[in-house]
Structure formats: structure tokens, C-alpha cells
Structure 1
Amino acid sequence: MTNSEHHLTAAAPFDFGMSLRFVGGFSPTAGEQRIGDGRLVKALRVGGETVLAEVSASGTAVQVRLSGAQGQAAVAAALDRIRFFLSLDDELEEFYALADDEFRPVVERLYGYHQVKFSSPWENVAWAILSQRTPRAVAVKAKAALIEATGNLFEADGILHPAFPDAEQVVALDNLAEVIGNVRKAGYLQGAARRWLDLSETELRQAPYEEAKEQLLSLPGIGPWSAMFVMIRGLGRTDEMPTEKEFLRAAARVYGRALDEKALVQLSDRYGPWRGYWAHYLRADS
């Protein structure tokens, strides 16, 4: 097995403990990583292979131990995936400087928390489809079945670490409807996987916001809300924010009053391109 040690740097302020706390409570990825002793151990798909990353940090210095990455290209891709997944490059001071009086205590509680995204935007797309109009527990079960069906397991020290399948693997599944227990969603998921293979994640990260969003809207099963969801939680692009009930409740708790969608949008205006981060902090603090 190929093992290698690497060092990354996070933009200050950075609190890896906050990242671990969020991951530990994020139900869409429950059971897909191990957390303990200040470390995150997670299997990832990189270049058609499953690799294992063990991540720890001291201040802004992030240590990564990779297992199974074959060659420099695979190592570089894995490190890029980890850096993006943990949002290590997010410059939060600009965001924090915008905090209003009611939001400032949230900043103090989450100070140094960089948004932990889905491990890839493709995984976020798949979760958006699986979770549409579906109880959370049912969607989590379907996602776990999808991982099991593709067999992406990395064994280390007698422990099996699952990795979410890449789009190529989903396209190749002949029994997808049986696996996830839903014919309609299987059609959307497989169609989205085929279309995803024609897209460039790099371009989605860098293209003008509306252009990138239009690319997501071209995926079967992805509507305006899901596209915005993937933009924030899969691509780290926070120009927009969700306004559904759970965010209204989170904002009402912080701001101490009932809020409708119009009031929520008005509150978010001061945060400009950080409004999606603001919304994420509201939910992460709940």
C-alpha cells in the first residue's frame, strides 16, 4: 500500500475542532467517516480509485496522511479534494466583519469554522436527488445502499471505510432502482450521472455564478432549489441562500423574532456574496 504524508495550510482563523463537530452531526454523511482524537479519517474517490485520508490539524497547519493514492497526479487530486472539502482557503475575516449585533454571538461560537462541504459536488447532486420530498432517514438509507452496491471500501487496520461512488459507477449500475428503492429517482440519478460526466468541476468552481448554476440546472432531477443547494454545499459558492422553513426557524432563533421569507432576505442583504455562508452558520449553530 502506498502511504504518504502531506502538509496543507488553512486560511486563518481556522478551528479544525469545529469542522469535526459539524461532520459528526451531519446526517447525510453519517457512518461515512471516523472521527476521534482530533482526527478525521475518510475514504474518497479520486481518479477512479478509492483512497484513504487521515486529517488532523494544529492551528492553521493541516496534516494529511494518504493511503492508496498511486502516483503524483492521484496525490495532487486527493489533496485538492481534501482542501476543497474542508474549505481551507475560505477567508472568513471579511465575512465576520459584516456580522450584525444579533449574529455576532453565532460568529463567536463558530469562530474559525470553515464550511465543510460534501466530499464532492457530485455527491451533493446525488444527495439532492435522493432527499427530495423524502424523509431524511429514508434518504440516508438509500445513500448507504448506493455506497454498498458499488463496493468502494478501503480497509485499514481491520476497519472498512466507505467512499461515495463517482458518477461513472452510478452510470454502470444496472439495478439502481432496486438498490435505492425508487424507480423515478433512479432515473434522475442515472441521468444526472451521465450528464455530470460531460461537465468540468473546475469550471463549475470558477465560471460566473449564473453560468455554473445553469449547468447544474441541466442535470435531470435538479431544480432551482437543488441547484442553489449544490452551489453552496458542493461548490462553496455562497451568493444565494435557501429560504425554506428550517432556515427561517434558525434565523428566528438567532434574531429573536418570527421571520418570513422577505424579512430573511432583507437580513441577508448586508452579507452580499457571503449570504450563503451566513445561512450555513445559522444552521450549523442550531
Structure 2
Amino acid sequence: MHTDIERCVRAVRSKDARFDGWFFTAVLTTGIYCRPSCPVVPPKRENMVFHPSAAACQQAGFRACKRCRPDTSPGSPEWNQRADLVARAMRLITDGVVDREGVPGLAARLGYSTRQIERQLLAELGAGPLALARAQRAQTARLLIETTALPMAEIAFAAGFASIRTFNDTVREVYALTPSDLRTRTPRTNPAGTPAGTPGAISLRLPFRAPLNPDNLFGHLAATAVPGVEEWRDGAYRRTLRLPYGHGIAALTPRPDHIACRLTLTDLRDLPVAISRCRRLLDLDADPVAIDDQLRTDPVLAPLVDKAPGRRVPRTVDEAEFAVRAVLGQQVSTAAARTHAARLVSAHGEAVDDPEGGLTHLFPAPADLAAVDPESLAMPRTRRVTLTTLVGRLADGSLPLGVESDWPEARARLLALPGFGPWTADVIAMRALGDPDAFLPTDLGVRRAARELGLPSTPAALTARAAAWRPWRAYAVQYLWATDDHPINFLPV
């Protein structure tokens, strides 16, 4: 997008928030960079240059605008809708892999050399993996400075900096302010309304591109919530998180212009990963205008989209967890699937403390489930085989499911497992792997909606009809499901 100069200039002049995160505007006369929707008077065209990432702007010597805070804009939808090497690398960088494992660890996960990774990221994003990770560390540092009362030394460590000096230099370079100045400029309460310095908790706003319809998004998460791991309480979806350095609890509340997020973490180094996973769970980096415009071209879907635009795909914070839950949900009701999952959680999940609610456990890790006696599982024998095979492959690493997964390859590996049919593989592709074009033509709810709307209801015919919805068939499924009165389609009260 950043190479289409005319389109970028029009977006900046119209202050179009839909393009926030797609590209960044660097102003030659001021040395700052902004998001397209920055409220200041747009600069002259000859003074604007465009970059594909905040990291590229920083590499070029530009500082973040203090008004529009471009480093906190929604992430680029490119990394959600693509499955190529750059997109997969960006998802891993956002998930903190470079900070934890370095560039060699990033390359190993993707199956490429470090040189190939660096070359492709530089070509498309104008910055390599280290610069991209550095930009994320700077954003994490700013968030901790502004929303907590932690000492600066602890913030530097939590944000992933190797030294206080590097932390200070980076903050000054990116924001043109010292860490202390950033804190002084911040009101005593953070944007989400929680007093700064509340022990163990961080409150923040998660931005998104409008429109966002919260009904099916939070309705689905609440209706399928596993007791002990998830709950709907006081207008918020709450759940436990298994994180690289510890665990946490996230509380997510829909607001008109943002998602209020409250995170309680055992290790603050997990903050950027927790934020990334919450954004992914709620599909907050989607481009709803582009998606809905495509689906509106179908006269059958157009009224559904116009009635409630901005539907997102409810996803997951843990791909392996969702795969297990998908097997537990095969050919049973939502209530039965929750019951099966709750039994596994109470018997094999790691206990956690939740003084603010009713969360009790982390969902069991694949290694824990791989050690379970199959005969102790209260389910049909064939499904026991399916489940034990799945968790065994997840535990030994022969079935990698993660943000870096190649979608077609992962789907093929899932279909090779006993008991895995197209529905199970595609629902995992849709909700765990994030494939925006995953489709469920055999799903009973989809077929029922298709029949009522006058669409073909047989899987083959419906798949052929849905070709016009590509590459957004996963979102079309959300609109089809929304024609039913199932609790997944309604925001809990």
C-alpha cells in the first residue's frame, strides 16, 4: 500500500482511520511520523514520504507523533490475511519470538535461513527482524511507563531491553522524550480508567478498525466458555493465559471505540505476548470495510452485512488448546463439549489464583494430556483415539500448530489424523490458525442458514456458490451463523 503514493496522499488528507496500520506517513520538515488519521493539518505533498511499518520510520530517523501515537495503531491486516513467509514472520515477531529466541529462533521456526528472513522483511517492510522487535519493545515500554508505577529499571527488563542505557536511548530516539518525561505527561489514571500502579494489573485500550460488531464475537466466546478457564463476568469476557514466562488472566470488555483490556500477569515480560494474543483472539486487526464490501457483492449476503456490519471471527489464544476443544466438540452439543473440556481442565489443568472471579485453571498443555490414560476419558472409543493421537502429535512436535503455521500444510496434516474430517480441520484453520478463507460447508448451522436464505445447501454446491466470497469465506460463515437464535450470536447480558 505504501508504494501507491496517490492513494496514501488521499487517505492522509481525508484522515481516513481505515488505513491506520496499513502505512505510516513520515514528514520530512518535522522529522516525525504519523498514522493516516492524525488530527494535525496534513503536510504538503512534497514533504510526505510513506513507510510500511513504524520500524521502517524509526530506521529512517523519524520520531513518533505525540498527537496520534502511530505506534499504537491497529496492526496491519496483511499479517492476518496472508500465509506467506513475511506474514508468518510478522506474526511470530509480534508474539515475541525474536526477543525470546533471537533471529535464529525465528528462522528455525519458519524453516528458512536468517539471511532469507532478513532479506524478505527488508524488501517488504523496510526493516529487519531486530528493528521490528525493537519497535515493539519501545511500544511495550511506553505502555508500562504510562500505565504502571513500576521503577524504570523493572520496565526496561519487562519490555525486553538488555540494559537501562539501551532502554533510555531507545525511548528518547523513538518518542523524543525521556522515560521520566513520558510518565510526567501521563494523567494519574490510564485510558481504561484503572488507577496507575494497581498491583499486578495493567489496563489498556485495544484499538480496532471500525465497524466492529461484538455480538457474535463475545457471544461465541461466552457461550462456549470452558468453566475454570473462561467466564463472562460483569460485562467482560475473562480467561486464563498460558504465556512464555508464566501465566496471566485477561479481562476483555467491548466499548464503542475500543476493547478495554485488563491483564494480570505473573511476569511482566509476557505483556507484549498477552496483548498480541488478545488482539488475535478478537480478530482486532481485520479490515472490516474491505471484507464487508466483498461480501456485499452477493445479493443474498448483502442484507445480512448491512444489518450488522463488522463481524469478526472469534479466534483463540492457544492453537493447541483449540484443536483439542474442536475434537471434544465433534458431533456433540455446545453444552456437552464444555462439559468434556471442564473435566479435562479440573483433572489435568494447572491451578491458578483468581481473586477477582471464578477462574481456576490453565487449559492443560499437550504434554499433560499426552500422559492421560485413554480409558479415563468419558467419550466413545473412536474419539478417544482421535484425541490421544492429536495430543501425542502436538506434544512431540510432529504437528506444529502456531501463528507461524502454513495453513494448507497444517490442514493436510490434520486431515491425515484418524477421526479428522473436513469440518474439524477447517474449524481449526478458521479459528486457531486464522485462515480468513476457511469454509465450513458441512456445518449444520451453515447448511441450515443457506437453506433458509435460498442458497445451495449441499456441501459441494454451497462451496461452488461461495467462490465469490473468497478470500473472506470465514467471515461469510459468521454472517450465516448469525441468522440463527443460538446463544453464540448474542452479546451476553
Q: Same fold (TM over 0.5)?
A: yes
Cα deviations across residues 73-117 of structure 1 (Å, max 9, x unaligned)? x22222222111111111121121122222122213332221112
Q: What residue number does 2:274 align with?
A: 78
Q: In the alignment, what sits opposite 1:155?
A: 353
Task: State the one-letter code of the partner of 2:409.
Answer: E
Match of 1:166 in 2: 365
How large is the RMSD of aligned CA atoms in angstroms?
2.8
Distance 2:454 2:421 in 1: 32
Aligned position for 2:44: none
The runs of 5 or more residues in structure 2 that have no matched partner are 1-198, 485-493
CA contact (8 A) 1:3 1:69 kept: no
Equivalent position of 1:201 in the other structure:
402
- Aligned partner of residue 177 in structure 1, secondary structure: helix
TM-aligned CA distance change 1:258 to 1:203, over 3 Å: closer
2:440 aligns with 242
Code of the aligned partner of 2:277:
R
In the TM superposition, 1:181-196 aligns within 5 A as 181-196=379-394
Structure 1: where are the runs of 5+ without partners?
Answer: none
Separation in structure 2 between the aligned mates of residue 264 and residue 123 of structure 1, nearest angstrom: 30
Q: Write the distance in 2 (CA, Å) between the matches of 1:277 and 1:170.
A: 32
Q: Which amino acid aligns with 1:88?
A: L
Q: Secondary structure at the match of 1:97?
A: helix
Aligned length in residues: 279
Aligned pair in 2 of structure 1 residues 152, 182: CA closer, same or farther (>3 Å)? farther
> Secondary structure, in 3 states, of the residue corresponding to 1:282?
helix
Moved more, 231-240 or 181-190: 181-190
SS of 1:124 mapped into structure 2: helix
Is contact 1:192-1:221 (8 Å) kept? no
SS at 1:156's partner residue?
coil
What is the CA–CA distance in structure 1 between the aligned matches of 2:311 and 2:382, rounded to whole Å?
A: 37
Q: Is the deviation greater in 104-113 or in 256-265? A: 256-265
Which piece of structure 1 moves more, 211-220 or 50-59?
Answer: 211-220
User: Which of these residues, 123, 143, 151, is aligned with residue 341 of structure 2?
Assistant: 143
Asked if structure 2 preserves the Cα contact closer than 8 Å seen for 1:95 and 1:271, the reply is no
Q: What residue in structure 2 maps to residue 97 of structure 1?
A: 293
Question: Structure 2: which amino acid aligns with 1:59?
Answer: P
Which residue of the partner structure matches residue 27 of structure 1?
224
Determine helix, strand or coil for the equivalent of 2:211. coil
> Aligned equivalents of 1:119 and 1:182: distance in 2?
28
Which position in structure 2 is the counterpart of 1:53? 250
Residue 155 of structure 1 aligns with an amino acid whose one-letter code is D
How far did residue 210 of structure 1 move? 1.8
For residues 43 and 187 of structure 1, the distance between their equivalents in structure 2, rounded to whole angstroms, comes to 28
Determine if the alignment matches structure 1 residue 281 to structure 2 residue 482.
no
More displaced, 96-105 or 136-145? 136-145
Distance apart, 1:220 and its partner CA: 5.1
Provide TM-score, normalisation by structure 2.
0.51
Residue number among 263, 277, 281 corresponding to 1:66 in the alignment = 263
Deviation at 1:278? 0.5
Amino acid at match of 1:167: P
Q: Percent identity?
A: 23
How far has the Cα of 1:28 moved from its partner? 6.2
Secondary structure at 1:55 match in 2: strand
CA distance in 1, matches of 2:478, 2:445: 11
- Which residue of structure 1 lines up, in the alignment, with residue 450 of structure 2? 251
**Given residue 202 of structure 1, which amino acid in structure 2 is its aligned partner?**
V
Q: Distance in 1 between matches of 2:428 and 2:300?
A: 28
Distance 2:308 2:266 in 1: 33
Q: Structure with the greater relative contact order (CA < 8 A, sep ≥ 6): 1 or 2?
A: 1
What SS does the corresponding residue of 2:470 show, helix, strand or coil?
helix
Q: Is the 8 A contact 2:213 2:310 kept in 1?
A: yes
Alignment of 1:3-14 (within 5 A): 3-14=201-212
Alignment equivalent of 2:284, drawn from 75, 78, 88: 88
Residues 203-237 of structure 1 deviation map (CA, whole Å, 9 limit, x = unaligned): 21xx2x32232233355543333211210122221
- Output the CA distance in 1 between the equivalents of 2:215 and 2:338: 25
Greater radius of gyration (CA): 2
What code does the residue aligned with 2:439 have?
A: M
Q: 1:229 aligns with which of 427, 430, 454?
A: 427
2-side partners of 1:122 and 1:109: how far apart?
34
Given that 1:145 and 1:180 are in contact with CA atoms closer than 8 Å, whether structure 2 keeps it comes out as no
Query: Which of 159-168 and 274-283 deviates more?
Result: 159-168
